[in-house]
Structure 1
Amino acid sequence: MKHMRKLLLAAAAIALFLLAVVVATALLMLASEADASGSGRTAEERIVVLLVLLLVACAISFWVTYRLHELYVSAPLRMAEELAAAVAHSGLRLGEYAAGELQVLGKVGNQLLSLREAHEKDVAERVREARASLEEERSRLAALMADLSQSVVVCNLDGRVLLYNQRAKQELSTAADGSNAELLGLGRSIYTVFDRALIGHALERLQQASRDGSDGDSKKLVGSAQFVTATRSGRLLRAHMSPVLGEDGPHHARVGGLSITGFVLVLEDVTSTNERHARRDVLIQSLVEGGRGPLGSIRAAGEMLSDFPDMPSQQRDRFLRVIRDEAGVLTAQFEKTASAFSNDLRERWLLEEILGAELLAVAARRIGERRSSERRALAVKTENVDEELWLRVDSFGLLQALHYLALRLQDEYEVREVRLSLTRSGQLAQFDLSWLGTFMNNETAMSWLQDPMTTGGEASPLSVTDVIERCNGDIWFQRERVSHRAFFRTMLPAAEAPKDLPRAIVAAPEGERPEFYDFDIFLWSAVSHELDDRLLTELSYTIFDTETTGLQPSEGDEIIQIGATRIVNRRLLRQECFDQLVDPRRSLSPQSVAIHGITPELLVGQPYIDAVLPKFHAFCADTVLVGHNAAFDMRFLQMKEKQTGLRFEQALLDTLLLSAVLHPNQTTHRLEAIAERLGVSVFGRHTALGDAIVTGEVFLKMLPLLAEMGIKTLRQAREASQRTYHARLKY
């Protein structure tokens, strides 16, 4: 196409030259004839007329050439670009053109595109039906992962995360200062969280165990590894690593008869357990050290009394006082130790921490359920509930015990209403099940507490007392004759409120459900590839944008907002985003506020840039940066290198430059224009996160178009971008 354009321009130049020669010759002939007839024109007048006619002829020739170029050179090139975009992305159509031949060609092209789109819709419908069951399994997996109490992370052999749950994100993305550092995400390296050498050692042990245990059965799962590590926030985790087996592949490790494609990490937070054990060791040690003196004194006094039975009474009384005093000291020390660590010393059953008010609400609902059509439901009321009180109990057993006692009251004493209360009493929680007007004797109440529980026709080997003792508590029956109230009172150890409560998982709108996994990452490997030689479709990206106080970073303008999202395995992960306002420590111009809508009031109390950039640097670690007119944004980041000590040295791609590579004949490469050409809906413009999402959608549309041009690797994309005119702009 370039050669055709050059030939056309050369032909036009030759035509102009020949036309000028012909016109000049004709004018000279006319001038000679005029001289012969005696018209009387001077030579100067003839030259002026000659030049005017020559300029008019040149202008007409240039206009004709320009129109021909627009109609039959530029227009076909634009049509080719539009056709390439329409072929890559359904729903796009060719525009209108002035040349009649191109109009006919455009109609035929649109008809072919419509036919192709109809076939694609038919294929898409069949694919949708085939994937319906897979989507159902995916939803089940997401629900299962969300409800797990343990952290689960699945990685390929390169340490790329391909599955995680919210518990893992909460525990592993916490920085040393307690803030969210966004360290965990699909396609990101687990080595940003854990030490590479530690994971490598555990993986080596896993492979060694697989070699030792392999017996020729390639499908038999053998080997596992365990280790303990600490997170950046100081939490202590026990990790259980298991292999993920699969078919042989280029990025799999062959061990004996097994092909290992990755590994699963099941993480358990043992910080509190380790702290309890440490406290227990300290108390036991102090008890041993503190008891040696009193025991030695008691032993010495006892030996003296035994060896000298005829000693004077005054001396005997002195030794007896020593024994009594030292025994008292020893008893006080034992009581102090038992009181300080009673919960841990008595705990024999795995208990769960639960908010007392939540347990009370569940108990009230279960007791109040209608038992049958013949017997009405038992009324339940709650009173004096401490909303901040936490318990460490066997919640199922405790609910079963309360239900059992309430039903026996209804069956044997026709109690119609019971009341539940929960209050704090020192270091204990007081849990009362009370009722009015009906008394029982202590022997009956004791038998209820000691008998095996039977509810709904199902018998349990445990009694109420067994359940309460399992929870390290105590229960008894008590009456208040003045108020005509009786109750079963349960005293339970109060627990401290958990420091890191799991964040609630909010249901996303339909079509925007968070992604929990991407198993295609199993196929990734960086072992034999440099980043520049990796395919664009294999890389993970951070799409980012900034809003600023102005357009002159070198003259003091500052960043006021950073927004970013990520692309992994050619999918835009909207749930893994970064969106932060920044206090610029300077005023905002009315012109900038009119563009982005961020007022000075919104920036009050926001963190400064030196606190935001480290978090953003961690968010985009191990990815390729992508932006629109990214040189502008990068200049602002580079201006902060000395202040923060951070350098953004990641590879960078610019959708503005890539648009110039794909569509060199288009007159504009603004983000809105590119989005319109590629069929991307524009929303949230002039907010950092909104622009980043639109840029991400545009970039995904560009990838197949770049591949058709032979631009498939990061190196090829960067080199093609650098050859464009827009790459020469500086900020």
Structure 2
Amino acid sequence: MSPRARLTLATLAVPVFLLLTVAAVGGILWVDLSAEERHALAGLLAPRVGLMFVFLALAAVCAIAVVRQLHRNYVALPARLAEEARVLLSTGAARPVGVAGSPEVRALVETINALAEHRRSLEDDVAERIRAAMNSVEEEKNRLAALMSELTQSVIVCNLEGRVLLYNGHARQQFRALSDAPAAAGGGELLGLGRSIYTVFDRALVDHALETVRHRLQRGIQAVTHFVTTTRSGQLLRVQMAPVLPGGAGTVVAGGEVSGFILLLDNITRNFETESRRDQMLHTLTEGNRAALANVRAAAEMLDYADLQEELRERFRKVIRDEVQAMSQLLDRTATEFADSLKARWPLEEMLGADLVAAAQRRIEQMVSLPTKLEEVDEGLWLKVDSFSLLQALTYLAHRLSDEFEVREVRFRLVPNGRLVHLDMIWSGQAMSTETVMSWELEAMQFAGESSPLSVRDVIERHDGEMWMEREKVRHRAFFRIALPAAVPQVAQEVPAYPAGEGRPEYYDFDLFSWSERSRALDDRPLAELAYTVFDTETTGLNPSQGDEIIQIGAVRIVNGKLLRGEAFEQLMDPGRPLDPESVKVHGITADMLAGRPAIATVLPAFHAFAADTVLVAHNAAFDMRFLQLKEAATGLRFDQPVLDTLLLSAVIHPNQESHRLEAIAELLGVEVVGRHTAVGDALVTAEVFLALVPLLAAKGIVTLRQAREAAEQSYYARVRY
């Protein structure tokens, strides 16, 4: 039973007890008296009944006052002091327990504060010893961090789930350029600790590169691969992938096992565009001037005839002048305009041909269930290919052969042919027409649940190659021959000794290597393991149902129990309506500050992406969530992830505190309040408060998300609606 309930019960019990006592004493006396005495006593008391009830009421009031004072000093005050002591014990907050109450209680509180101070002194001493012991390690980490920050490439480290474990500042800047809302999230909705890299890269492309890395590890050669991809914003990225080995530096791993991967990114959009424009210009100059040069040459040859009539001679001179002038104009025009009919070449990477064939075998057997064999493969051939799209094309062709012509097996042949390499896919069985081959080449590739907008011909043209079908009538076989550009052979290298770590980057958390979202249902996950988006809103007023709008959203992230101050979301918005003067006094945001800002319809998708795959946390979350929910119909976005409210959680942990305002909770928990009544400032304070509440919840047996939500729902404040 809570102290408040006990006080109410005691307050009601006092007058009842007095009445029962008076009634009992009067009853006993009345029974003991004779008839004459009873008559005499009744005559004496009858005129004084009112006075007796007045004295009885005064006695009850005095007794109640005494009970309330005793409850305040010996029940409510000790309960509140016990809560503050538990905070001191669990969080080590610098704020001591408040000294109040009777001398005995004061003495007890002073003893508790002395013990806490002694513990703090011991902890400080231990922390100082740890800092001294780690000085040399920290110095080495700082050296590595400096090297990391100076890298001109963008570096991202992921676990096998594709979750980001590390990234440097260059990667953050690059993803800011890819962001749809760079001013608000700074790329944070795309890149952040614990976020999935597959929001930017195609999972199938990364899986293919990872499979190539594993295959190379098994063969004992350099386990690094490359691929080129486009982002949803149209940027062209060249990616180098290297493995993170589970045993650390210098470890040889059997079976090609890895624990994660490193991505080195280069944005080659401008380089590729420049190269394409150069090629277009060269094509325009060569093809456009070919006829003009022929006319000039023919006219010049005619002028060599000595008996040529003067009229014809002048006409040929005019031809030369006109053609030279046309060539000059064409040269000027191609400096600013290029023909758009040419198809852009796709950047290609060098790859060992045998690796490409082995990957094609694995992919076809896995996706098409079609057996494959090798007929002739030159192990020393290197190709310049986009391996992902080329493997898609080979698998698509194998699927069509199996599905439409019931081919039971395909064979591969890889042989050199001058500057080209011939890759043959061979099968036995029914012959097909040229029209069928052409239709397969031109249709978009769709097979086994995969869909690509490219056709086989698009892929071949990417490689500046050719494809055709040939028949071997004697052996009753046919094959597709793909001519691909050869590359200079590379020398196989030993597996390099990867460093155990990349130093201390600007943002990191290696504990996530062991994290798998699919391991358990979210509700049964421990609070300490979840990722959170802690957010706050500033609004035009306090009535979302009456048209008030959000004017600012601020948010920060908590991953693996750490507050990521560098991954923040902050954006002002134009609400399209006047501000409530009373609200302006609170948050200080004026109409001038909102002029020209984006509307919430533009900002909300970026915030939705920033908060994806996390639990939302806010103080008085019902208020903020109501504003978001009212925008669901207009934006088509749903914030349907779990929500935790620090106000409700505080009421669960500290039911005897008089206030659960954010400032009061922060003061109790020893959290410094900075930037109050700004969205991102309040989000930071709320995040610090939430991190301090988690161990206090655990002390009450509230460990999982489900337990926290169920406990919060029982709070009185959970009944507030907006």
What range describes the TM-score normalised by the shorter chain of this pair?
0.5 to 0.7
Report how far residue 635 of structure 1 moved.
Answer: 0.8
Structure 1 segment 111-150 matched on structure 2, within 5 A = 111-150=114-153
Residues 181, 606 of structure 2: 8 Å contact kept: no
How far apart are the structure 1 equivalents of 2:516 and 2:120?
35
Cα offset, 1:717, TM superposition: 1.5
Q: Is the 8 A contact 1:287 1:334 kept in 2?
A: no
CA root-mean-square deviation: 3.9
Any conservation in 2 of the 1:515–1:573 contact (CA below 8 Å)? Answer: no
TM-score, normalising length: structure 2? 0.67
AA aligned opposite 1:552: N
SS for the counterpart of 1:611 is helix
Q: Quick one: which of 630, 636, 641 aligns to 2:627?
A: 636
CA apart distance, 1:273:
2.1
Instruction: Tell me what 1:223 maps to.
Output: 223
Distance 1:338 1:143 in 2: 49
8 Å CA contact retained: 2:526, 2:705? yes
Post-superposition Cα deviations, 1:111-154, rounded to whole Å, max 9, x if no partner, equal: 22122111100111012223333433443344333332222111
Larger RCO (CA within 8 A; separation ≥ 6):
2
Instruction: Report the CA distance shift for 1:322/1:711 in structure 2 as closer, same or farther (over 3 A).
Output: farther
2:213 paired residue number: 206
Deviations 1:533-565 (A, max 9, x none): 222222222221111121111112222222222
DSSP-derived class of the 1:527 partner:
helix
- Quick one: which amino acid aligns to residue 247 of structure 1? G
Change beyond 3 A, Cα 1:291–1:9? closer
**Structure 1 residues 7 and 633, CA, compared in 2 at 3 Å: closer, same or farther?**
closer
Q: Measure, in 2, the Cα distance between the counterparts of 1:725 and 1:561.
A: 29
Identity of aligned residues (%): 51
**Equivalent residue number for residue 196 of structure 1:** 203
Q: How does 1:573-588 map to 2 (within 5 A)?
A: 573-588=564-579
1:314 corresponding residue in structure 2: 308
Deviation at 1:625, TM superposition (A): 1.4
Distance 1:601 1:514, change over 3 A: farther
Q: Deviations over 1:81-120 (max 9, x none)?
A: 1121101222232222424443333232222212211110
The 1-side partners of 2:577 and 2:518 are apart by 47
Is contact 2:285–2:330 with CA below 8 Å preserved after alignment?
no
- SS of alignment partner, residue 568 of structure 2: strand
Q: 2: distance between equivalents of 1:157 and 1:40?
A: 94
Q: Is the 8 A contact 1:176 1:234 kept in 2?
A: no
Q: Please name the residue that 1:707 is paired with.
A: 698
Aligned 8 A contact 1:684 1:690 in 2: yes
Alpha-carbon shift at residue 629 of structure 1 (Å): 0.5
* Contact residue 224 and residue 240 of structure 2 kept, 8 A: yes
**Higher alpha-carbon deviation: 37-46 or 22-31:** 37-46
Shift of 1:672: 0.8
Q: Distance in 2 between matches of 1:638 and 1:535?
A: 27
Match of 1:106 in 2: 109
- Residue in structure 1 matched with residue 275 of structure 2 by the alignment: 277
Displacement after TM superposition at 1:567 (Å):
2.0
Q: Give 1:628 shift.
A: 0.6
Query: In the aligned structure 2, how far is the partner of 1:212 from the partner of 1:531?
Result: 40
For residues 571 and 564 of structure 2, the distance between their equivalents in structure 1, rounded to whole angstroms, comes to 17
2:83 counterpart (47, 72, 81):
81
Cα separation, 2, equivalents of 1:239 and 1:164: 14
1:659-683 C-alpha deviation (Å, 9 max, x unpaired): 0111112121011110111011112
2:608 corresponding residue in structure 1: 617
1:342-421 correspondence to structure 2 within 5 Å: none
Distance 1:120 1:30, change over 3 A: same
Equivalent residues in 2 for 1:706-725, closer than 5 Å: 706-725=697-716
Amino acid at match of 1:666: Q
**How far apart, in 2, do the equivalents of 1:185 and 1:520 lie?**
14
Query: 3-state DSSP class of the match of 1:266?
Result: strand
After TM superposition, the structure 1 = structure 2 runs for residues 682-697 of structure 1, keeping only pairs within 5 Å, are: 682-697=673-688
Matches within 5 A, 1:647-686: 647-686=638-677
Distance 1:6 1:301, change over 3 A: closer
Q: Could you say if the C-alpha distance between residues 303 and 312 of structure 1 is closer, same or farther in structure 2, counting changes exceeding 3 Å?
A: closer
CA contact (8 A) 1:174 1:232 kept: no
CA separation in 2, counterparts of 1:155 and 1:644?
A: 32
Distance 2:180 2:113 in 1: 58
Kindly tell me: are residues 270 and 331 of structure 1, through their superposed partners in 2, closer, same or farther at Cα, counting changes over 3 Å? Answer: farther
Name the CA shift for 1:710/1:207 in 2 (closer, same or farther; >3 Å). Answer: farther
Partner of 2:243: 243
Alignment check: 8 A CA contact 1:294 1:327 kept: no
User: Could you tell me which residue of structure 1 aligns to residue 450 of structure 2?
Assistant: none
Distance 2:262 2:648 in 1: 41
Structure 2 partner of 1:71? 73
Question: SS of the residue aligned with 1:643?
Answer: helix
* 2:590 equivalent to 1:596: no
Residues 151, 514 of structure 1: alpha-carbon distance in 2 compared, 3 angstrom cutoff: closer
1:291, CA displacement in angstroms? Answer: 5.0
Which residue pairs with 2:24 in the alignment? Answer: 25
Gaps of 5+ in 1: 215-221, 343-512
Q: Which runs of 5+ in 2 are unaligned?
A: 337-503
| Matches of 1:698 and 1:173, distance apart in 2 | 29
Correspondence for 2:95 among 76, 92, 108: 92
Kindly state the Cα deviation for residue 337 of structure 1 after the two structures are TM-superposed: 5.8
Deviation at 1:42, TM superposition (A): 7.1
Q: Which deviates more from structure 2 when the two are superposed, residues 10-19 or residues 278-287?
A: 10-19
Deviations 1:634-671 (A, max 9, x none): 11111222222222222211110110111112121011
What is the TM-score of this pair, normalised by structure 1? 0.66
Deviations 1:463-503 (A, max 9, x none): xxxxxxxxxxxxxxxxxxxxxxxxxxxxxxxxxxxxxxxxx
| Cα distance, 1:595 vs structure 2 | 1.5
Aligned counterparts of 1:7 and 1:26: Cα–Cα separation in 2: 28
CA distance in 2, matches of 1:173, 1:677: 38
Aligned residue for 1:523? 514
CA shift for structure 1 position 61:
4.4
Secondary structure in 1 matching 2:134: helix
Letter in 2 for 1:186: L
Counterpart check, 1:569 vs 2:560: yes
Deviates more, 1:316-325 or 1:10-19: 316-325
* 2-structure distance, mates of 1:298, 1:606: 61
Counterpart position of 1:354: none
| Amino acid paired to 2:628 | L
Deviations 1:408-428 (A, max 9, x none): xxxxxxxxxxxxxxxxxxxxx
Which secondary structure state, in structure 2, belongs to the residue aligned with residue 163 of structure 1?
Answer: strand
Aligned to 2:207, the other structure's residue is in SS state: helix
1:217 corresponds in structure 2 to: none
Which residue of 162, 168, 171 corresponds with 2:171? Answer: 168
Aligned to 2:154: 151
The residue that corresponds to 2:478 in the other structure is none
Counterparts of 2:564 and 2:277, CA distance in 1: 44
* 1:558 paired residue among 549, 559, 580: 549
State the one-letter code of the partner of 1:24. Answer: A
Partner of 1:606: 597
Q: Distance in 2 between matches of 1:338 and 1:593?
A: 59
* Contact 2:168 2:505 (C-alpha < 8 Å) held by counterparts: no
How far apart, CA to CA, are the structure 2 residues paired with 1:52 and 1:689? 61
Shift of 1:583: 1.9
Distance in 1 of aligned mates of 2:16 and 2:86: 38
1:256 to 230, 254, 257: 254
When residues 319 and 517 of structure 1 are mapped into structure 2, their CA distance, relative to the original with a 3 A threshold, is farther
Distance in 2 between the 1:114 and 1:62 partners?
A: 39
Separation in structure 2 between the aligned mates of residue 617 and residue 85 of structure 1, nearest angstrom: 34
Structure 1 residues 635, 669: CA separation in 2 closer, same or farther (over 3 Å shift)?
same
Question: Residue 617 of structure 2 is aligned with which of 626, 650, 653?
Answer: 626
State the AA in 2 paired with 1:102. V
